[in-house]
Amino acid sequence: MLGIISNRLLSACLMMLAISVVAFILIQLPPGDFVDSYVNHKQQGGVTMTQDEVAQMRSVLGLDRPMYVQYFDWVGRIVRGDLGFSWEYHRPVSEVIGERLPLTMMLAFTTLVFTYVLAIPIGIYSAVRQYSLADNTFTVIGYIGLATPNFMFALVLLYLAHVFFGTSAGGLFSPEFQDAAWSWPRFVNLLAHLWVPVLVLGTAGTAFQIRTMRAMLLDELNKLYVTAARASGLSEIRLLLKYPVRVAINPIISTIGWELTNIISGAPIVGIVLSLPDTGPLFVDSLLNSDLYLAGALILIYCGLVIIGTLISDLLLVALDPRIRMGGKSSWCFTRHIILKYTPQFLVFCYRSSGLR
Amino acid sequence: MNQDILLEIKNLYICVELDGDSLPIVEDVSLSLRTGEILALVGESGCGKSVTAQSVMQLLPKQLKIESGEIKMNSHKQGKIIDIANMNPRGSEIRKIRGNEIAMIFQEPMNSFSPLHTIGNQLMEVIRIHRKTSKSEAKEIAVEMLDKVGIPGAARVIDQYPHELSGGMRQRAMIAKALSCNPTLLIADEPTTALDVTIQAQVLTLMQGLQSEFGMAIIFITHDLGVVAQVADQVAIMYLGNIIEQGSAREILKDPKHPYTVNLIEAVPRLGRLEGRKALIPIQGSVPSLYDRPVGCPFVTRCTRVINNRCEETMPRLISMSTDHQVACFLYNPSEGESS
């Protein structure tokens, strides 16, 4: 048990490390850096910068250093809790993100809960009453939900809200609460607006999870252990919930991390269409402007959320399935192997990253 | 219904719904079983033996339905005669019978326990449904039962998961679960088929021992005539949903009458008698599909002793050869079904 947990935690850390490299490279890949886009911007405003000024700006921002130096500098700071400075906003990244991140996390979390709370019971019902009217209805709705792109769905909702309610479905707050401090009425106001993006973000996932739950349960319902349990006199509902549902739900739980990936990667586009004050629009802007540290921090946070989601589903699985739990011994061996193999390299890496800044 | 008769099946028809067609897979089956008796239901795969047994507990798969017939049981615990064929398969009446008066063990011990619950959890569940016991009492009974079926270290095994036990041990645990409420009838659906030979013998011996200890009747479904010879008092041979021969096991194995039974016994390999013996004689052809069921005797397509104009046209009825031996074949009944 302990072995599995430490194993998963360790691989989560290694994964973060790998992601930081990929993220850093990805941000640098598009031609031009922040200075280029800044110069461009100035030029459109009629101001021309000299070569010297440009070079000086590069050196102030540290963009003239080799890429690996910049990378280690960045990671070294993050390890010490400093996310860097946003050039675009002229404020520390942590401050820029700080106001918006709770909304993103709340949106992701609510969508996740919405997805599973809806999908699991409907999936169970659809499997038990296979090919009934309700099952077929859910199937049709499900396929429509799966096939509709999020941004399209968001636009349709915006239109409907405008035509039928005369209000805007965009944003997360009414105008009077836009910049107000956190309070109970503001929170209620948030909940009243939250259902639109949750619906947009969650529908495809819910539809998918309903199909998964239904298919898994249909598989399990025909297994011998179900008949065996029925032969011992259990009532149908107790039988259903105790045995086949319990077995069928494992694959659903293992998709939590994966579902979170979908939600988070879908969020920025929906955020822009619905003009939400979360990190989505911020992220797109930072990429367009090559705002290095802001974009990097957001990528790391998004990936971190996904990894945490995966970690949670892994740990839930360990708790739910004795067959995985019992495999703990071999998995501890694997962990030890990883630790012995990578610790020296990791130490060297830490030393260099702090020394090179 | 006679007092020492435990279970009586009369003219049972079970049909399967296939694309709107209703095809019979068990036809006109009548059986009776006395208290404490072991009845072997013998036949090839798909002959309806498992389905017949499942119907006794109303455990038929969704597509199958009891079309007509009676399944009467002398319920010792309720002190009256009950008709299982009329019970709702999801109702509470049948649930009082399942696991309590009739228990079942299955062919594959690998899959007959839930992989996510401990053996103890699954045993205690049955005990607590049917016997009013506290959790700790149920646990005591469970340990005692596991001990009785010869599982070493029962107190430890009770907290283990099915995947930690071998196939033989799992089948023993299944038997313990089945017997934990003292059923008067145990249905064993090929309980030894999935086990290897030495374990098979152990499990059979165990079941015989438990039968004499608990005194329950057993319906033993098998296609292994060796097993029949070892355990059964009575035997019923099924072919394509019909009982074609039934009676005392001793008599039928020694003096089989129906050509199918004769062929079945000839097809059993025997150790130690290889010299001077012909090669095994297989039964020609294969079981016809449900759609091609012959009009007359179900075995007519593979029989070597067909009587022209009779076997193809009419289904022979069971007739008595002796007090405890019936066969459904025109060879022994020259007058019946004469074509006019």
Q: What one-character DSSP code corresponds to residue A163? A: I
Please compute the mean of the pLDDT values over residues A123-147 and round it to a whole number. 92
Give A356's pLDDT tier (boundaries 50, 70, 90). Answer: very low
B97 in contact with A at a CB cutoff of 8 Å?
yes
Rounded CA separation A122/A39 (Å): 55
Please compute the mean of the pLDDT values over residues A112-122 and round it to a whole number. 94
pLDDT at A93 over 50: yes
Buried b (16+ CB within 10 A) or exposed e, B292-325: ebbebbbbbbbbeebbeebbeebbbebeebeeeb
Please compute the mean of the pLDDT values over residues A157-176 and round it to a whole number. 77
pLDDT at A164 over 90: no
Of B59, B114, B130, the CB nearest to A225: B114
The mean predicted confidence, pLDDT, of chain A is 84
Contact B115, A253 (CB under 8 A): no
Interface test with B, best of A129, A225, A226, A325 (most B CBs within 10 A): A225
Q: What one-character DSSP code corresponds to residue B317? A: P
Give A354's pLDDT tier (boundaries 50, 70, 90). Answer: low
Residues of chain B neighbouring A245 (CB-CB closer than 8 A): none
Question: What's the confidence (pLDDT) of residue B226?
Answer: 87
Interchain proximity B99–A225, CB inside 8 Å:
no
Closest chain B CA to residue A232: B99
Give the DSSP H or E segment for B25: strand B21-34
Contact B110, B48 (CB under 8 A): no
Contact B142, B127 (CB under 8 A): yes
Instruction: Tell me whether residue B142 is exposed, middle or buried, using C-beta atoms within 10 angstroms of its C-beta: 0 to 12, 13 to 18, 19 or more.
Output: buried
Rounded CA separation B228/B276 (Å): 26
Of A232, A242, A321, the CB nearest to B98: A232
Protein fold of A100-288: MetI-like fold (1.10.3720)
Model confidence pLDDT, tens digit, residues A41-87: 888 888 888 888 888 888 888 888 888 888 888 888 888 888 888 88
pLDDT at A357 over 50: no
Query: Which ranges of chain B have pLDDT less than 70?
Result: 271-278, 334-340
Give A114 to chain B, closest Cα distance, Å.
Answer: 27
Residue with tokens 């795969």: B45
Question: What's the confidence (pLDDT) of residue B267?
Answer: 83
pLDDT at A341 over 80: no
Residues of chain A neighbouring B160 (CB-CB closer than 8 A): none
B113 in contact with A at a CB cutoff of 8 Å?
yes
Q: How far is Cα of residue A162 from the mean position of the Cα atoms in its chain?
A: 30
What share of chain A in percent tops pLDDT 90?
Answer: 21
Question: What's the confidence (pLDDT) of residue A336?
Answer: 62
Interchain proximity B111–A224, CB inside 8 Å:
yes
Between B89 and A162, the more confident residue is B89
Give the C-alpha distances (Å, rounded to integers) separating B88 from B7, B95, B158, B326: 19, 10, 34, 33
Question: What's the confidence (pLDDT) of residue A339?
Answer: 64
Interchain proximity A231–B104, CB inside 8 Å:
yes
Interchain proximity B117–A242, CB inside 8 Å:
yes
Interchain proximity B177–A242, CB inside 8 Å:
no
Contact A9, A308 (CB under 8 A): no
Instruction: Tell me the residues of A at the B interface, defined by beta carbons under 8 Å apart.
Output: 223-225, 227-236, 242-243, 246-247, 320-323, 326
pLDDT at A330 over 60: no
Question: What's the confidence (pLDDT) of residue A39?
Answer: 84
Token pair recorded at residue A8: 């998963």
Question: What's the confidence (pLDDT) of residue B8?
Answer: 95
Between B140 and A262, the more confident residue is B140
Residue B203: what residue type? Answer: V
Question: What's the confidence (pLDDT) of residue A146?
Answer: 87
Rounded CA separation B306/B330 (Å): 9
B331 in contact with A at a CB cutoff of 8 Å?
no
Please compute the mean of the pLDDT values over residues A125-130 and round it to a whole number. 93
Where does chain B have alpha helices with state H?
Answer: 49-56, 92-97, 119-130, 135-148, 154-157, 167-179, 197-214, 225-231, 249-254, 259-266
Rounded CA separation A117/A123 (Å): 10
Question: What's the confidence (pLDDT) of residue A322?
Answer: 82
Of A233, A247, A326, the CB nearest to B126: A233
Residues of chain B neighbouring A225 (CB-CB closer than 8 A): 111-115
Segments making up each domain of chain A, as ranges: 100-288
Residues of chain A neighbouring B177 (CB-CB closer than 8 A): 232
Interchain proximity B174–A322, CB inside 8 Å:
no
Of B98, B111, B118, the CB nearest to A231: B98
Instruction: Tell me whether residue A316 is exposed, middle or buried, using C-beta atoms within 10 angstroms of its C-beta: 0 to 12, 13 to 18, 19 or more.
Output: middle
Where does chain A have alpha helices with state H?
Answer: 2-28, 34-44, 51-61, 67-79, 93-128, 133-147, 150-160, 184-221, 224-230, 236-242, 244-253, 256-273, 279-288, 292-320, 322-325, 328-355
pLDDT at A303 over 90: no
Interchain proximity A232–B106, CB inside 8 Å:
no
Question: What's the confidence (pLDDT) of residue A89?
Answer: 87
Residues of chain B neighbouring A235 (CB-CB closer than 8 A): 92, 95
Contact B67, A200 (CB under 8 A): no
Token pair recorded at residue B35: 């208290």
Instruction: Give A16-51 as a 3 state SS string.
Output: HHHHHHHHHHHHHCCCCCHHHHHHHHHHHCCCCCCH
Scan residues 292-321 of B and list those with Cβ closer than 8 Å to A.
none
What share of chain A in percent tops pLDDT 70?
Answer: 90
Contact A146, A209 (CB under 8 A): no
Residues of chain B neighbouring A247 (CB-CB closer than 8 A): 114-116
Rounded CA separation B48/B52 (Å): 6
Cβ-Cβ contacts under 8 Å between A and B: the total is 73
